[in-house]
Chain A
Amino acid sequence: MQEYLLIILGTALVNNVVLVKFLGLCPFMGVSNKVDTAIGMGLATTFVLTLSAASSWLLERFLLEPFGIEFLRILTFILVIAAVVQFTEMAVKKISPVLYQVLGIFLPLITTNCAVLGVALLNIQEKNTFVESLLYGVGSALGFTLVMIIFAGLRERLSFADVPESFAGAPIGFVVAGLLSLAFMGFSGLSVQ
């Protein structure tokens, strides 16, 4: 069980998908204006990312490896991620049309981004088992959600700050993202006793 906890902590903090691996920067910069919206987006991404990591692991293990067609990995994973997104939409629509409507109108759609594909590929590179793959996906998604929430909180405060005109908007956002990234790189000093 400790091993599982370490995978989650390692992927969420030490190897954070956004601030250490620099993946998924588009939603990080584009959809982080309000904390509550960021949490909603984070939950949607967590679901898609975890299912994508698990599905792509299954395909790699039971289709690509046995038939020796690993060179099709990226193409296959992109299709798998698109299928998972469609499945998510269909599942939410099926369990509650009202839920589907409200989330569809007010939360931007997470189809695929480089973080989702990157985690699926890194997961194969790490040679994880199925459960480890799931936890790798969950940990990465939790890390993504965490930085989205922190960044959204900072941007909410920045909107009231007296920022010089030339730094206002995206420039100060990038400066803050860089400082956050430096802070997260401090987690690489964590060691297991």
Chain B
Amino acid sequence: MSVHNQPITLDESSVETVAVVIALEGDMAVLAAARKSACESCASAKGCGVSALAGMFGNKKLHFTVPNSMDARIGDAFVVGISQKVILKMASIAYLLPLTGTLAGAIGSSFFGASDLGAACGAVLGLIGGLALAQRISSRGDILNSATPTILRPALSPVIAQGKTNCDG
């Protein structure tokens, strides 16, 4: 790989993970990254029931397309990153808006004297409203444009050799 001699720069403001190139499409590269569970960083993961449950739902490969800025070939491993601010914005849209809708629906129903079942119905309606709002906001062009990860460096750097990324412990 021709990029191994390039200087490695650590971007402190980005969240990073390792991904492997699985296809090339013109100037773009399709990468695959494994979705990790929070439990995997624990030393007792092999003997833990919760970790086994996490393994059933996690460990999926996620594919994404990025500009091929490092002359990548199929099979090459790279460290990819995205701004921490973008991650925060994304997490707020995906989780905070539906949650706020749920709470508003439940508390609003309760305020108007609804029973527990009525409050539950209000919460479900609020959740649906929150999800709809999140869908509307996340389809905005500026959000979509900022959500593209970038290739930072080849994954054979000393940092990765130690098995350390910013995501895990």
| Bound together | yes
B168 touches A102 (CB 8 A): no
Q: A61 contacts the other chain (Cβ, under 8 Å)?
A: yes
**Which of B35, B40, B86, B91: most chain A Cβ within 10 A?**
B91
- Collect the chain A residues with CB atoms within 8 Å of residue B95's CB: 43-44, 46-47
From B22-30, B67-75, B115-123, B151-159, the one touching the partner chain is B115-123
Choose one: A36, A40, A46, A109; the contact of B36 (CB below 8 Å). Answer: A109
Residues of B121-151 contacting chain A, CB below 8 A? 123, 127, 131, 134-135, 138-139, 143-144, 147, 149
- Collect the chain A residues with CB atoms within 8 Å of residue B50's CB: 26, 111-114
A113 to B95, CA, bound (A): 18
A188 to B50, CA, bound (A): 30
A102 touches B82 (CB 8 A): yes
Residues of B82-116 contacting chain A, CB below 8 A? 82, 84-88, 90-96, 98-99, 102-103, 106-107, 110, 116
Nearest opposing residue in chain A for B116, CB measure: A130
A34 to B143, CA, bound (A): 23
B96 touches A37 (CB 8 A): no
- Collect the chain A residues with CB atoms within 8 Å of residue B160's CB: none
Q: A138 contacts the other chain (Cβ, under 8 Å)?
A: yes
Interface size class of A (residues with CB under 8 A): 35 or more
Residue-wise, chain B 37-51 has the 8 Å CB interface mask toward A (1 for contact) of 111111000000010
A96 to B123, CA, bound (A): 22
B36 touches A108 (CB 8 A): yes
A128 to B167, CA, bound (A): 36
**Which of B38, B50, B131, B143: most chain A Cβ within 10 A?**
B38
Q: Which residues in B have some Cβ–Cβ distance to A below 8 Å? A: 15, 17, 19, 33, 35-42, 50, 53-54, 56-58, 60, 62, 64, 80, 82, 84-88, 90-96, 98-99, 102-103, 106-107, 110, 116-117, 119-120, 123, 127, 131, 134-135, 138-139, 143-144, 147, 149, 166-169
The 5 listed contacts between A and B (C-beta, < 8 Å) are: A31-B167, A34-B166, A50-B103, A102-B86, A130-B117
